[in-house]
C-alpha cells in the first residue's frame, strides 16, 4: 500500500516487479529480500555496482534466494539493435551460417556501424547518450569518463592492502594492451613472494567485471583450463569504448576532434589494441572463457607461434577447439596460425581470422570473417 501510494501505481499479485536499484548502498534492504520473496506476492530485481555489492556485506546475511545474473556491455548485435539496424544483423547471421560474403555495400555499412561500436562501446547509458545526441561522440565520451570515475571511486573503497596494486594495474591497462605482445608476466611486477598479490589483483579486476582475463594454455585441447598457465596473462578492458576513453584520458577537452580523426583514419592510433579488445569483449559476452597460446623456440630465443584466442567449438558429439587470429589491418601474415593448424590439426574444427575485410574461405580452409561477425562465434 505504501509503495502504491508513493509511486502512484497499482501492484498486482504475481504480476508486478519491484527493482532495488543501487542495492549496494542499502545492505539491510538486500537482506530483507529473503522475507519479501517468502511473502510470495511479487518478484524482485536487485541492481548495482558489483564491486560495492561484494564489499558491503559486513554483518548482513546474504539471502540464498538471490540468483545472480552477469550483465555484460552490449555486443555488436545489441548495439546495432539500439540503432534500429535489426535487418542488417539478420543478414550478417545468414551470411555467417552460409559462410558467404556480404554484398559489398552492406559490408561497408556493417563496418561503418562497427567502427561506431568500437569507439562508443556497449555500456547502455553511453549508447543511449550517443543516440539521443544525434550520434555525437562528445556527449558519450563524457558518460564514459563518468563511468571510469565511478570505477576509480569504487576501487578506493576496497581493502587498503589491495587498493594501490589495483589502481596501479587499472591505470596501466591501456599500456599493456598497446604493447606488441599484450601479455603480462605476473612475477615481473615484483619478487616471487609478492607476485601472488598481483595475481590476486588481476583476479579482483576480472571478478569485479572491470576486466576480462585471458590465460595462457600450454597444451590446447578440449578442457582448456586443465593446462592453464597463470604465469602469463592478457588483461582486456570490459568495454572497448571505455578503453578508448581510458587511453586518451589526458585529452578530454579535445575528445571530439580525436574521435573524428580516428573515425576518418586520419590519426595514428594502435588499432590492434582496440580490435583485439573488442573481440575479447564479444567472445566473453557469447559465453567463452578466454585463452591464448604461445610457443617458445629455445633455438631462436623467441616465440615462434602466437595465437590470440582459442575457444571451444563444435557440437555435442564432436567438441574441439578453434584458434582465432585478430588482424586490424587489411594486409597481414598468418605464419603462427598455419603452424598451429599443422601441429594441432586433429583437435581443430575451424580456424578463424578476424579482420576488417569481407568473409572469405582460404585454400587451406581457414575462415576469414569481418570483425563485426565475431558475435556469431
pLDDT digits (tens, 9 = 90+) for 267-276: 666 677 889 9
Residue 119 lies in a domain: yes
- In this structure, what C-alpha cell is assigned to residue 358? 569481407
Q: Is the pLDDT of residue 196 over 70?
A: no
User: Judging by DSSP bridges, how do beta strands 318-326 and 309-315 pair with one another?
Assistant: antiparallel
pLDDT interval class at 230 (50, 70, 90): confident
Share of the chain above pLDDT 70, in %: 88
Pair (234, 89) in one structural domain: yes
Confidence band (pLDDT; 50, 70, 90) for 71? confident
Does 37 share its domain with 95? no
Q: Which residue has the higher pLDDT, 218 or 193?
A: 218
Question: What does the pLDDT read at residue 55?
Answer: 63
Q: Mean pLDDT score of the chain, rounded to an integer?
A: 86
Q: How many domains does the chain have?
A: 2
pLDDT at 170: 86
| pLDDT in the model for residue 296 | 72
Predicted model pTM:
0.86
Tell me the Cα Rg of the chain: 23
Question: Does a structural domain hold residue 71?
Answer: no
39/99 same-domain check = no
Q: Are residues 159 and 305 in the same domain?
A: yes
- CB environment 311-335: b (16+ within 10 A), e (fewer): bbbeeeeeebbbbbbbbbeeeeebe
Q: Report pLDDT for 189.
A: 58
38 and 86 co-located in one domain: no
pLDDT tens by residue, 269-312: 667 788 999 999 999 999 999 999 988 776 766 777 899 999 99
Same domain, 32 and 80: no
For residue 22, give its domain range: 2-48
Answer yes or no: is 214 within a domain: yes
Amino acid at each position: 500500500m505504501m509503495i502504491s501510494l508513493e509511486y502512484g501505481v497499482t501492484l498486482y499479485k504475481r504480476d508486478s516487479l519491484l527493482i532495488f536499484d543501487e542495492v549496494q548502498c542499502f545492505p539491510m534492504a538486500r537482506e530483507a529480500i529473503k522475507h519479501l520473496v517468502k511473502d510470495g506476492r511479487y518478484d524482485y530485481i536487485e541492481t548495482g555496482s558489483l564491486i560495492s555489492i561484494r564489499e558491503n556485506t559486513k554483518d548482513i546475511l546474504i539471502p540464498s534466494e538471490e540468483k545472480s545474473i552477469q550483465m555484460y556491455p552490449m555486443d555488436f548485435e545489441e548495439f546495432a539493435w539500439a540503432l534500429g539496424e535489426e535487418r542488417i544483423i539478420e543478414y550478417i547471421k545468414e551470411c555467417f551460417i552460409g559462410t558467404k560474403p556480404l554484398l559489398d555495400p552492406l559490408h561497408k555499412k556493417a563496418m561503418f556501424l562497427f567502427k561506431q561500436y568500437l569507439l562508443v562501446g556497449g555500456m547502455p547509458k553511453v549508447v543511449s547518450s550517443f543516440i539521443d545526441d544525434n550520434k555525437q561522440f562528445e556527449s558519450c565520451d563524457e558518460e564514459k569518463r563518468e563511468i571510469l570515475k565511478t570505477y576509480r571511486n569504487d576501487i578506493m573503497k576496497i581493502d587498503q592492502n589491495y587498493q594501490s596494486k589495483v589502481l596501479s594495474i587499472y591505470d596501466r591497462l591501456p599500456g599493456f594492451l598497446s604493447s606488441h605482445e599484450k601479455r603480462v608476466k605476473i612475477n615481473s611486477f615484483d619478487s616471487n613472494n609478492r607476485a601472488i598479490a598481483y595475481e590476486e589483483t588481476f583476479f579482483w579486476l576480472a571478478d569485479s567485471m572491470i576486466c576480462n582475463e585471458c590465460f595462457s594454455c600450454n597444451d590446447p585441447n578440449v578442457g582448456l583450463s586443465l593446462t592453464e598457465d597463470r604465469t602469463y596473462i592478457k588483461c582486456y578492458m570490459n568495454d572497448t569504448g571505455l578503453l578508448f576513453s581510458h587511453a586518451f584520458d589526458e585529452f578530454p577537452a579535445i575528445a571530439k576532434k580525436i574521435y573524428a580523426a580516428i573515425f576518418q583514419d586520419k590519426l595514428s592510433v594502435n588499432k590492434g589494441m582496440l580490435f583485439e579488445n573488442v573481440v575479447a569483449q564479444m567472445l566473453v559476452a557469447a559465453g567463452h572463457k578466454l585463452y591464448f597460446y604461445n610457443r617458445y623456440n629455445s633455438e631462436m630465443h623467441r616465440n615462434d607461434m602466437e595465437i590470440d584466442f582459442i575457444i571451444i567449438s563444435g557440437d555435442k558429439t564432436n567438441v574441439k577447439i578453434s584458434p582465432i587470429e585478430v588482424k586490424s589491418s587489411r594486409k597481414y601474415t598468418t605464419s603462427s596460425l598455419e603452424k598451429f593448424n599443422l601441429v594441432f590439426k586433429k583437435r581443430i574444427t575451424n580456424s578463424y581470422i578476424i579482420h576488417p575485410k569481407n568473409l572469405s574461405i582460404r585454400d587451406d580452409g581457414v575462415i576469414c570473417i569481418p570483425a563485426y561477425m565475431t558475435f556469431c562465434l
